[in-house]
């Protein structure tokens, strides 16, 4: 009888583990909602609202993973859900918003540029999902949330200052092309995942964060745009000046290909030995 009770408890515990964690996935869903809102606002012509919504989506996306790790609620479901939402929030949403804002003026070139942005976002996410996670210090290629924020803050700045003219739509085209190339590049970008928010930090670090928030409060679109541009340029700068991270600090999908080849050879040799 007692054994039966124990089995029943184990079954209930197993059913509980098969559920999904609400807290981190709530942030992910919020990111999806913000992206959908951005697309809707773009169709209505409210491009500034769209830009702000994409920035909000990026903020929520940066929180879901950290919340999952801090609360020990990391799950395979959460990882897959987050990846799908990222494609919508940082691939489809920016591309459709930019197409509605200025790319449509270029006709076929415009919608093809928007598609290329979506495709490179998908490729960037696929590469990230298959990378060796031996180090969290660097990303290979510009992360798609950072690319989306740069695109969004560009649009936000243009709309905020009421800038118009042919150069604005040309800017939209160039931004999409450059960001697409950056996402599938091999430039190293700091991930900041190695920063532990639970540990103590130097006083100057805290002071710097306070100053950043103060600056953002003065002119959010411009300051966020400058920060985004600075981060986007950090990869090429590291590459050009030879300050490349060590191979152990950056993940590369080539490691997986090599492992697969070794496994294949090993399997073949084993088969020959058996014969």
| pLDDT bucket at 260, cuts 50 / 70 / 90 | very low
Query: Given a cut of 90, is residue 112 above it in pLDDT?
Result: yes
Q: Over the stretch 233-254, which tens digit does the pLDDT of each residue have?
A: 999 998 888 765 555 455 444 3
Q: What is the pLDDT of residue 11?
A: 46
Per-residue pLDDT at 130: 84
Instruction: Give mean pLDDT, residues 105-128.
Output: 95
Residue 13, pLDDT score? 45
Mean pLDDT, residues 60-85 taken together: 88
Average pLDDT, the chain: 82
Considering its fold, how many domains does the chain have in total?
Answer: 1
- DSSP string covering the chain, please? -HHHHHHHHHHHHHHHHTS--HHHHHHHHHHHHHHHHHHHHHHTT-HHHHHHHHHHHHHHHHHHHHHHHHTT---HHHHHHHHHHHHIIIIIHHHHHHHHHTGGGGTHHHHHHHHHHHHHHHHHHHHHHTS--S--SEEES--HHHHHHHHHHHHHHHHHTT--SHHHHHHHHHHHHHHHHHHTS--EEE--TT--TTS---HHHHHHHHHHHHHHHH-HHHHHHHHHHHHHHHHHHHHHTT-PPPGGGB--THHHHHHHHHHHHHHHHHHHHH-
pLDDT of 74 reads 84
Q: Which domain holds residue 265?
A: 2-274
> Which position has the higher pLDDT, 174 or 8?
174
Range among 48-52, 132-136, 196-200 with highest mean pLDDT value: 48-52
Is the per-residue pLDDT at 23 higher than 60? Answer: yes
pLDDT in tens, 127-154: 988 876 545 678 889 999 999 999 999 9
- Mean pLDDT is lowest, of 43-52, 134-143, 185-194, 252-261, for 252-261
At 29 the pLDDT is 95
Q: What is the CATH number of the domain that holds 52?
A: 1.20.120.1760
- How high is the pLDDT of residue 194? 60
Percent of the chain scoring above 90 in pLDDT: 52
Q: Is the pTM of this model over 0.85?
A: no
């Amino acid at each position: 009888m007692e054994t039966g009770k124990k089995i029943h408890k184990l079954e209930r515990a197993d059913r509980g583990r098969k559920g999904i964690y609400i807290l981190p996935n709530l942030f992910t869903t919020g990111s999806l909602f913000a992206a959908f809102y951005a697309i809707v606002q773009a169709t209505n012509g409210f491009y500034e609202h769209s830009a702000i919504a994409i920035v909000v989506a990026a903020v929520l996306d940066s929180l879901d993973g950290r919340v999952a790790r801090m609360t020990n609620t990391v799950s395979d479901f959460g990882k897959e859900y987050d990846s799908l939402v990222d494609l919508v929030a940082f691939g489809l949403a920016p591309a459709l918003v930019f197409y509605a804002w200025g790319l449509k003026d270029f006709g076929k070139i415009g919608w093809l540029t928007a598609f290329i942005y979506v495709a490179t976002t998908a490729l960037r996410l696929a590469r990230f999902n298959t990378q060796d996670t031996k180090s969290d210090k660097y990303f290979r290629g510009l992360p798609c949330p950072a690319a989306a924020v740069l695109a969004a803050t560009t649009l936000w700045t243009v709309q905020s200052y009421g800038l118009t003219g042919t150069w604005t739509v040309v800017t939209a085209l160039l931004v999409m092309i450059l960001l697409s190339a950056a996402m599938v590049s091999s430039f190293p970008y700091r991930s900041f995942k190695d920063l532990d928010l639970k540990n103590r930090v130097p006083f100057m670090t805290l002071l710097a964060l306070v100053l950043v928030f103060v600056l953002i409060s003065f002119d959010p679109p411009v300051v966020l745009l400058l920060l985004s541009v600075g981060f986007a340029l950090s990869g090429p700068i590291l590459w050009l000046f030879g300050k490349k991270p060590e191979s152990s600090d950056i993940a590369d999908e080539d490691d997986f290909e090599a492992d697969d080849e070794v496994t294949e050879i090993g399997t073949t040799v084993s088969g020959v030995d058996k014969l």
